[in-house]
Structure 1
């Protein structure tokens, strides 16, 4: 007689033919093994479901009777109004709302004080196991912000932020860094003049973010004025700036942008009507992204086992090249801290340093002496 499995009980057959049972935890969503005994597996599942129903019923009753301060109630009455009242970038506000909504789905009916470090850790583990460590990191940051607000408004006791007690998920950067040789190969594939200007401006200004490139406007007073879309920080770059490794000058590229003879405030602009874009309109960030991707594919760039580099990686390459010239790259990149600039200087293992045996610097001149085969003391 075929066994009738209760709802929520899952099974799979091993290579040796043995059937094993599993279930998903009603609260965390994690899969747990229940062994191969069908009766025991059913009993454990029923106990787990009964316990969860009891907790769930109590949480709903608390919310209805007003005797419990639930996670969802705090988000709706305190956290979201705080986000709306705080001066922040629209993209930041949108991101915080997104994660607040996600967290309400997970912890909504639970009393705020019962959202423990263990529950948070298990919830994040589910994302890490699916290869979404960065999302898990964002969840941790969002919860930390939520509980900080709860403490400041008296919903929780001081020094009781359960999110801060969790271990921050380690995020391994998988996108490849762009090398100068790869950049040259990509540039060689550019056939349209605006494609060349896009690449030139990206590496000459170090502002390769598509939103920043798309809105670059004509210079004034001998400077290119750039305000970063991401942070709002601004920098004035003199047109005399030259990237020595390529022999390119910013002023020359700006002059080439103006050679289209089209009246437009933007350096990168359409020279003819295309679809909804009119002549003189700025080139959209999406088109810049897609164009770089197409040029890289056409150039046959081998990214190895890492994700393909994007146009934004030109920013890191530019920082490294200007660093060799002695340019203050923190100012050039419009960074508030040197730590941010250091991250761009990291090649992520995509660069190799060559030992120069002809160097005459005091630190390396001893390497030029002939090795006589004797042990070094």
Structure 2
């Protein structure tokens, strides 16, 4: 098998070795950025000194068929320390609204909370931007913090978010929560969201004039009121499927200061519960992130198979490919260390991630995507 992969002739062996050069360069650059971000990239923590007043902040939570998630997340949201928690039921059909009302009534402590009904979605709006736009209208708080219904917040999360916003001087601020995973599809693929961030965006670029240096995670996204107005709110990205990144890029174009942090133990999330959800959830964002270019999605996937899977297959016979395989494992291990995931077995099996991503790529190439019972054309 190794002979067939590496080729028997000297010319073929030289070609295989030559192909390792760009792979090694790619992995080395990613690893260098990641190592810099190990020290550079902040993680949310409660401030040790004077703490900001969270009374002028509001936690805004869109809900659509979240009956299986919100009971686990809502207690933490109420205990996080925000001035108010506002939840919006976006046409749920699984009893989410009734369950939330019951949970709010039975809560004996924490921030005041209320549930509001969502209005019918107008033409030209994607589901989440419309729900978030309504939530923003429901509060006059100075700081708006939008939070997905599956995010688990620790006590004091409000102070940690506001303190980090102030420390970075951020007008728009996004937290990448620590991923909690269960199935192997989740373990292999969900952390790649943070991998793209920590291996592709040196934190210092946020303070540079490079306005394309922008990222965000819609699971936890905060705005100063004036910044929210400046970007046109969610109306500025009303038809975007990947609205979080679109908002970050829009904020940078408007000259606003963007801040980022990892969630650590303060903000954690289990975005997907099984292979089907991983495929649908990650797949729907691939084409928008590639600017609608299907060839780019395919090319990127083939390249990652070459960079992470091929080195393991070629490592037995070719020293350069052994180095490439070691770099891939090191990258994922350092990512687990930085985020606090500590899934070392998933790090050792990083070569399987591009293969596991095959169905995600197939899903992402489809013209029509379905998420939360709604259909989108990409």
TM range (shorter): under 0.3
TM-score of the superposed pair, with normalisation by structure 2: 0.21
Please identify which structure carries the higher helix content. Answer: 2
Which is greater in Rg?
A: 1
User: Greater strand share, 1 or 2?
Assistant: 2
**TM-score of the superposed pair, with normalisation by structure 1:** 0.21
Quick one: higher RCO (CA 8 Å, sep 6+), 1 or 2?
A: 2
